[in-house]
C-alpha cells in the first residue's frame, strides 16, 4: 500500500437528472473540466444537474492518479477521517458523514422531504431499491446565483388567505376540512399542526382529474390577467410549474409553502420533515451522507404521498426561520453553521496574491474552487487550483489557500463532531 499525502485531488461525479441546466449554462458543466472528470465532453443539449463530492455508495468520488476511489482511500487511511469523528459517526469502510454537491437547477425539483434517521432505517429496510441508505438527510443550500425555492409551510394565516382567495385551490378540499382550517388560528399549536396536516393530505390525495381541471381553470384565469392582488406574488411561479409539470398537484403547493428568492451568499437549512422544492438557480448543497428523498409532486419519478404526509413536521413559519446566517470568522473566511453536527461549510474569498490560513481541523473536509485560480499548500506540498478543482483535506491538517492573478473563491465542507 503506497502512502498518500493528507491533501489530494478528488474527482467528483456528475448526475444528469432531467431538471438540470443544460450544456454550458450549467455550473456543473462549467466546473467539470477543472474537476478533471475523465472523458468529459460538453453536450449542449444534455442536462448537468449535480456534482457529487464524497463517499456516497451510489457515486463515490475518484482520486487523481489512483485506482482506488475516495471511499477506498479513506478505508486504508482512517486517520484522514480522525478519531473524534469516527467516535461520533459511522465511518465504517471510509464513509464520510457528509455529502457535498453543486446543483444547477433549470426546472423545479420535486415537492419533497427527507426522513429522520429512524424513519430512514425503516424505509431502507422496507424499500431498499427506493430508499438506498439508512441515513437521515438534513441539508443546507447556499446560493451561488440568484436562487428560488419553495421552503417550509407558510404561516397558518397566510395559507388561510390563499384558501379563501383561490377557488381552484379550495375546491379540491372537502368543505368541512376547509372550514376547520379557517377556524384553527386560535387553537393551540399542536391542534393547528393537526389541522394543517388534514389540509395538506386532502390536497395531495385529491382526485387526479379534478386537479387537472382546476389547474386548467387557474392557469386560464392567470393568463387573462384575472389574478387577485394576493396572487400576484405566486402567479408566475404557478404558470412556470404548470408549464414544467402540467396538471401536477405539486403546483398547488405554491399556496401552502413559502416562496423564497435568495441572492448569492444566502443560505437555508432544511431539517428532517420539512417540505421543499428547489425551483431555479445554482447552489452549493451540503447534507448528511444520504440520497433518501420522499417525493409527492412535480416529478415523473415515483411518488410516496402516504410516507410524505406522515413524516412532515407541519411547522408553519416565515421562510426566514430556515435561514443560516453566516459568521465572518476572519476577513476572508465566512462560516455557515447549521443546527446539526453532520457538517459545516466555509466560504473563502482571497484577493489577488492574498493567502488565507486555516488551522488544523479535527475532522475531514472537501473543498471546491468556484472562481479564479491559485493554490492550496500544507506542510507536505501544494496543489494548483482552478474553477472546478476539488480537494480532500485530512483531519488535523493545516492548510493555506492563496489566490493567483484574480480573486479565488473556495467552498469547504467539514465535520468535527
- Could you list the active site residues? 295
Cell output for 75: 478505508
In the DSSP assignment, the letter for residue 323 is B
Q: How far apart are CA 106 and CA 85, in angstroms?
A: 36
**Strand ranges across the sheet with 390-393:** 62-63, 7-11, 390-393, 365-371, 408-414, 344-350, 333-336, 327-328
Cell output for 390: 476539488
- C-alpha torsion 191→193→197→203, nearest 10: 110
**End-to-end CA gap in the chain:** 29
With residue 403 as reference, give the H or E element that holds it.
strand 399-403
Place of cell 489557500: 401
Instruction: Please say whether the beta carbons of 247 and 209 come within 8 A.
Output: no
**Residues 6 or more apart from 51 whose CB is under 8 A from it?**
12, 13, 14, 15, 27, 28, 31, 32, 35, 101, 102
Bridge-based pairing of strands 111-113 and 294-297 is antiparallel
Instruction: Please say whether the beta carbons of 297 and 249 come within 8 A.
Output: yes
Give the other-Cβ count within 10 Å of 185's Cβ. Answer: 12
Give the other-Cβ count within 10 Å of 106's Cβ. Answer: 19
By 3-state DSSP, what share of the chain in percent is helix, strand and coil, each rounded to 5?
Answer: 30, 30, 40
Cα dist from 43 to 22, 51, 193, whole Å: 8, 16, 47
Phi-psi region of 125 (alpha: psi -120 to 50; beta: other; left: phi over 0): alpha
Q: How far apart are CA 393 and CA 381, in angstroms?
A: 12
Amino acid at each position: 500500500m503506497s502512502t498518500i499525502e493528507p491533501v489530494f485531488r478528488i474527482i467528483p461525479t456528475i448526475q444528469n437528472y432531467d431538471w438540470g441546466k443544460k450544456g454550458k449554462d450549467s455550473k456543473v458543466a462549467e466546473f467539470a473540466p477543472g474537476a478533471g472528470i475523465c472523458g468529459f465532453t460538453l453536450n449542449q443539449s444534455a442536462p448537468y444537474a449535480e456534482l457529487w463530492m464524497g463517499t456516497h455508495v451510489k457515486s463515490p468520488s475518484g482520486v487523481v492518479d489512483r485506482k482506488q476511489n475516495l471511499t477506498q482511500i479513506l478505508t486504508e487511511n482512517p486517520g484522514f477521517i480522525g478519531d473524534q469523528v469516527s467516535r461520533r459517526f459511522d465511518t465504517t469502510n471510509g464513509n464520510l458523514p457528509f455529502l457535498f454537491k453543486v446543483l444547477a437547477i433549470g426546472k423545479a425539483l420535486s415537492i419533497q422531504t427527507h426522513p429522520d434517521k429512524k424513519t430512514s432505517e425503516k424505509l431502507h429496510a422496507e424499500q431498499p431499491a427506493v430508499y438506498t441508505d439508512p441515513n437521515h438527510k438534513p441539508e443546507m443550500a447556499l446560493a451561488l446565483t440568484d436562487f428560488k425555492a419553495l421552503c417550509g409551510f407558510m404561516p397558518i394565516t397566510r395559507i388561510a388567505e390563499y384558501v379563501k382567495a383561490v377557488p381552484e385551490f379550495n375546491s379540491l378540499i372537502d368543505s368541512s376540512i376547509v372550514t376547520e382550517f379557517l377556524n384553527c388560528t386560535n387553537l393551540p399549536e399542536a391542534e393547528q399542526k393537526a389541522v394543517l396536516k388534514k389540509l395538506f393530505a386532502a390536497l395531495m390525495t385529491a382526485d387526479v382529474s379534478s386537479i387537472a381541471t382546476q389547474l386548467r381553470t387557474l392557469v386560464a384565469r392567470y393568463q387573462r390577467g384575472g389574478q387577485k392582488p394576493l396572487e400576484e406574488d405566486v402567479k408566475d411561479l404557478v404558470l412556470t410549474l404548470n408549464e414544467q409539470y402540467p396538471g401536477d398537484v405539486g403546483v398547488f403547493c405554491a399556496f401552502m409553502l413559502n416562496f423564497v428568492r435568495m441572492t448569492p451568499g444566502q443560505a437555508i437549512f432544511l431539517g428532517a420533515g420539512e417540505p421543499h422544492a428547489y425551483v431555479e438557480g445554482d447552489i452549493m448543497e451540503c447534507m448528511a451522507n444520504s440520497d433518501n428523498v420522499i417525493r409527492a409532486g412535480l416529478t415523473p419519478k415515483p411518488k410516496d404521498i402516504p410516507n410524505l404526509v406522515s413524516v412532515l413536521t407541519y411547522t408553519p413559519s416565515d421562510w426566514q426561520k430556515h435561514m443560516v446566517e453566516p459568521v465572518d470568522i476572519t476577513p476572508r473566511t465566512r462560516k455557515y453553521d447549521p443546527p446539526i453536527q453532520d457538517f459545516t461549510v466555509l466560504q473563502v474569498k482571497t484577493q489577488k496574491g492574498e493567502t488565507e490560513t486555516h488551522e488544523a481541523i479535527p475532522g475531514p473536509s472537501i473543498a471546491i474552487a468556484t472562481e479564479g485560480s491559485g493554490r492550496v499548500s500544507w506542510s507536505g506540498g501544494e496543489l494548483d487550483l482552478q474553477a472546478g478543482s476539488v480537494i480532500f483535506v485530512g483531519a488535523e491538517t493545516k492548510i493555506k489557500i492563496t489566490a493567483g492573478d484574480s480573486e479565488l473563491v473556495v467552498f469547504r465542507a467539514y465535520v468535527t463532531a
